């Protein structure tokens, strides 16, 4: 819950407070609001529920402000970047600290269900994804400049490679196709939670036991038939 509240405080309430503070001046001068959000607010990226929920709230707030401020002549735009390397996303020590805090904060029963190896793989996948992120932020900067200066700014700017395709797949393809696309694009898990692996192993053992039981029954039936023939 701390992660959910932290994301909401920064990504949603922080932006809301700043915007609210400047709204009187923006209405007076027919200014503009340009918000940098994330595709994670519109699409269900695996393992990003806290971050995605905060960005979803921000996206809806921005879209609503666009309608409410239109009579005042205030233009509102949202910039939706692809993956960029910012902050500490490529800092391995940062990911290790986050990983350690997560393991320490998980309830023992929850950690038992998922397994430490499952959590570690997720951390490694996030770090690998962040390490491959773009370092050239110019598409985002260019989108912000266009949203501020264009005579007729767009409502949404897709900044960076692949974002437009991502929204196309999400909007026009069946849900199972878009879900498969996101999993392949983002975090490709190979491990199942530990509890599910144990269940699968038990099912396999049960299947083997049933097969042996059936085989033994067949042998017994064959022996009985042979005895009857001899009699």
User: Which pLDDT value is given to residue 32?
Assistant: 96
DSSP conformation letters of 13-33: IIHHHHHHHHHHHHHHHT-EE
Report, as an integer, the average pLDDT of 194-213.
71
Tell me if 15 is assigned to some domain.
Answer: yes
Report the distance separating Cα 4 and Cα 8, nearest Å: 6
Report, as an integer, the average pLDDT of 185-204.
81
User: Domain containing 151: what range?
Assistant: 1-84+137-196
Tell me if 228 is assigned to some domain.
Answer: no
User: Which pLDDT value is given to residue 24?
Assistant: 96
The answer to whether residues 37 and 90 belong to one domain is no
Report the distance separating Cα 60 and Cα 68, nearest Å: 12
User: Which pLDDT value is given to residue 224?
Assistant: 55
The answer to whether residues 164 and 57 belong to one domain is yes
Q: Rg of the Cα trace of the chain?
A: 27
Tell me if 156 is assigned to some domain.
Answer: yes
Token pair 């970047």 is found at 81
Catalytic hit among 51, 118, 157, 158:
51
The question of whether 167 is a catalytic residue gets the answer: no
40: helix, coil or strand?
A: helix
Tell me if 161 is assigned to some domain.
Answer: yes
The answer to whether residues 93 and 129 belong to one domain is yes
- Note the pLDDT tens digit of each residue in 114-147: 999 998 988 888 887 777 778 888 999 999 999 9
| Average confidence score pLDDT of the chain | 85
User: Which pLDDT value is given to residue 173?
Assistant: 87
Report the distance separating Cα 37 and Cα 14, nearest Å: 13
User: Which pLDDT value is given to residue 45?
Assistant: 85
Tell me if 216 is assigned to some domain.
Answer: no
The answer to whether residues 20 and 71 belong to one domain is yes
């Amino acid at each position: 819950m701390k992660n959910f509240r932290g994301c909401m405080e920064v990504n949603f309430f922080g932006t809301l407070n700043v915007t609210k503070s400047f709204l009187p001046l923006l209405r007076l001068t027919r200014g503009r609001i340009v918000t940098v959000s994330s595709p994670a607010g519109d699409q269900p990226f695996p393992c990003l529920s806290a971050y995605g929920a905060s960005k979803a709230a921000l996206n809806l707030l921005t879209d609503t402000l666009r309608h409410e401020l239109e009579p005042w002549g205030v233009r509102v735009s949202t910039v939706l970047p692809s993956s960029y390397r910012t902050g500490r996303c490529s800092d391995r020590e940062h990911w290790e600290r986050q990983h350690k805090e997560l393991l320490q904060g998980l309830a023992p029963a929850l950690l038992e269900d998922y397994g430490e190896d499952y959590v570690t793989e997720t951390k490694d996948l996030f770090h690998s994804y962040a390490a491959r992120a773009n370092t050239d932020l110019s598409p985002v900067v260019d989108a912000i400049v266009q949203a501020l200066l264009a005579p007729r700014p767009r409502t949404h700017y897709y900044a960076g490679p692949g974002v437009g395709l991502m929204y196309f797949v999400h909007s026009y393809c069946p849900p199972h196709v878009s879900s498969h696309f996101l999993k392949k694009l983002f975090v490709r898990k190979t491990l199942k939670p530990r509890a599910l692996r144990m269940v699968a192993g038990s099912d396999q053992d049960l299947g083997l036991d049933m097969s042996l039981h059936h085989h033994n029954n067949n042998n017994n039936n064959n022996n009985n038939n042979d005895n009857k023939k001899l009699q």
